[in-house]
Structure 1
Amino acid sequence: MGRGDLTNAEWDRLESFLPRGGTRGGRWSDHRRVINGVLYRVRTGVRWRDLPERFGPWETVYKRHRRWSADGTWKMLLSKVQAAEDAADRIDWDVSVDSTAVRAHQHAAGARKAPPAAVPQRGADRGTNQVDPVLRRLAVRLAEVVSSECLGRFRGGLTTKIHLVADGRCRPLALILTPGHYGDGPQFERVLTQVSVPRTGAGRPRTRPDHVLADKAYTSRRNRRYLRRRGISHTIPERRDQRRHRYNRGSRGGRPTGFDSERYKKRNTVERAINPLKGFRGVAKRYEKRAYIYLGTVTLAALTIWLRT
């Protein structure tokens, strides 16, 4: 067993959940060796072609990771481990929500681009505000292609943003990806709906936390209404401009939002969940062209954190 590989105890927790057969009736190659190869790449960030020979052909490791990222196998394994932890009452359901931006490597920008002449240049067509409709459509299509792979311009380069929900023990419960320039507040409802921990016995998956903590980026009325509708208590500070606007409206401004400063101190759990997640070099910098493969990489890193904490 090499450094960072699955231990026997970790392998025993995963082995029964892994697929049994190949796509054409054949047999998969050794799952443990392939998973260790993917873990090595996620941990070190090396090129797939530079994987050590002890993991077998690099094409096998890459294709297995790509396939399991696409069909949801990594997410299924994470759900199984979370279900076992919940059955043992080892999940703290006082959750925290936040996001972190990840710089994309230049090789991650592999989406097809429009030719340079198709993108309107600054200062072109001076004296008229009309832009060729064909060029406009091509520029819009280019922006859609980049956004579909969760790449966006933010702070000097292409970035991807990871939005996550962490439990009270600093472990990621749910993850989503957006382009780097997307705001945090509009993704609040979307990331919380991804929380779904199955029951080991009969019953529906658990989707509702006991309490939610978040910073001022999530203090919109829409997010508070969403939490009240689901019956979830929360601790989110109110921004100064929102407080002033509410005071100016008088009785029409509504009641002041409750805020427990002592409980809010626990919000640092999500920051402490992001730190080990970005300790994986394959997560701290995005090298994948396709968003679903990078999401699989982040999910595998989260799975490793759940196995080892």
Structure 2
Amino acid sequence: MGRGELTDSAWARIEPLLPAGGGRGGRWRDHRQVINAVLWKLRTGAPWRDLPERYGPWKTAHERLRRWTADGTWDRILDQVIVKDDAVGNVEWTFSIDSSSVRAHQHSAGARKKGAPPPGGSKRLAVEGEALGRSRGGLTSKIHLAVDGRGLPMACVLTPGQAGDNPQLLPLLDQVSVGRDGRGRPRKRPERVLADKAYSHPSTRAALRARGIAFTSPQRRDQIRRRHAKGSRGGRPPAFDAGLYAGRNVVERCFNRLKQFRDLATRYAKRAAYYRAEILIAAIILWLREDPQDRP
């Protein structure tokens, strides 16, 4: 096992979730070797053509990434990893939500508009224009992330870099669907959401209240002034617990862990579907590292 590759315990959890056949009567190259190739690419941020020979042909690894992005394999693996942890009571259902901008390399632009692959085959992927946009940092993408109380990824959404944060809060929560390890409906609602001022909007508070989700977020100054200007008609300020809000830093720490994968710290992928797949793969690795048997 090389540096950054799958451990035996991690492979034991992933292997049963991978497609079995190679298609058209052929045999697929060893799945573990190919996933380790993808992890090498994520860790180093190097071009596919520089893939070391021990991982086999680079085209094989890239094609496997493309296929499993199209059929939603990465989503299913992340779902099952979370289900197993939730079955033993490890998932903490106080979510923290935030976003982080990622500088897009010039090679990430110029994806063909015709002949583009379907949006991931995954019902969760909803991005337009390959999630590339212009902001003060230049050509950027923005990762919107929801993590549990331990700072482990539960859902992510990609948008262009100039997109606002607040409109993505509900789409993030809509992605959460943790199945039961047995009978029962999937769990879709956290107990509480922690978010910064960018998400503090009356419509967001009302939407979460309607879903029965507690919300902890400080008010913006303009909202405070507007409420004071109305006098008694402005109503009471929303409840805010500074002690609970201090726990929101787990989402910042999660971004730091994800961006240790250099291929995520700078976006090189032309397709938003592939870049999102890389985020999911990194998220799977973060979850697997929490397994006591998988820790070094």
TM-score by length of 1: 0.87
Q: Which amino acid letter does the alignment assign opposite residue 208 of structure 1?
A: R
**Residues 35-67 of structure 1: CA deviation (Å, up to 9, x unaligned):** 000010011111101000111111000000111
Kept in 2, the 8 Å contact 1:20–1:27? The answer is no
Question: 158, 164, 187: which one pairs with 2:145?
Answer: 164
Aligned residue in 2 for 1:119: none
Unaligned runs of 5+ in 2: 114-126, 291-296
Aligned residue in 2 for 1:56: 56
Separation in 2 of the partners of 1:167 and 1:156? 29
Q: CA RMSD in A?
A: 1.4
Aligned residue in 2 for 1:27: 27
Alignment of 1:277-288 (within 5 A): 277-288=258-269
Separation in 1 of the partners of 2:183 and 2:28? 31
Q: Which amino acid letter does the alignment assign opposite residue 205 of structure 1?
A: P
Kept in 1, the 8 Å contact 2:103–2:137? The answer is no
Alignment of 1:118-129 (within 5 A): none
Number of matched residues? Answer: 277
Separation in 2 of the partners of 1:80 and 1:14? 9
Aligned residue in 1 for 2:71: 71
**Residues 75-122 of structure 1: CA deviation (Å, up to 9, x unaligned):** 110000000000010111111000000000100001359xxxxxxxxx
Aligned residue in 2 for 1:260: 241
Aligned residue in 2 for 1:131: none
Give 1 or 2 for the bigger CA radius of gyration: 1
Separation in 2 of the partners of 1:283 and 1:69? 16
Alignment of 1:220-231 (within 5 A): 220-231=201-212
**Residues 118-143 of structure 1: CA deviation (Å, up to 9, x unaligned):** xxxxxxxxxxxxxxxxxxxxxxxxxx
Give the CA deviation at 1:24: 2.1
Separation in 1 of the partners of 2:177 and 2:43? 26
Separation in 2 of the partners of 1:206 and 1:256? 31
Q: Which amino acid letter does the alignment assign opposite residue 226 of structure 1?
A: A
Aligned residue in 1 for 2:9: 9
Runs of 4 or more, structure 1, over 3 Å off, are: none
Give the CA deviation at 1:283: 0.6
Aligned residue in 1 for 2:135: 154
Separation in 1 of the partners of 2:44 and 2:66? 18
Unaligned runs of 5+ in 1: 114-145
* 1:192 to 2:192 alignment: no
Give the CA deviation at 1:22: 2.0
Kept in 1, the 8 Å contact 2:227–2:235? The answer is yes
Separation in 1 of the partners of 2:166 and 2:14? 35
Aligned residue in 2 for 1:232: 213
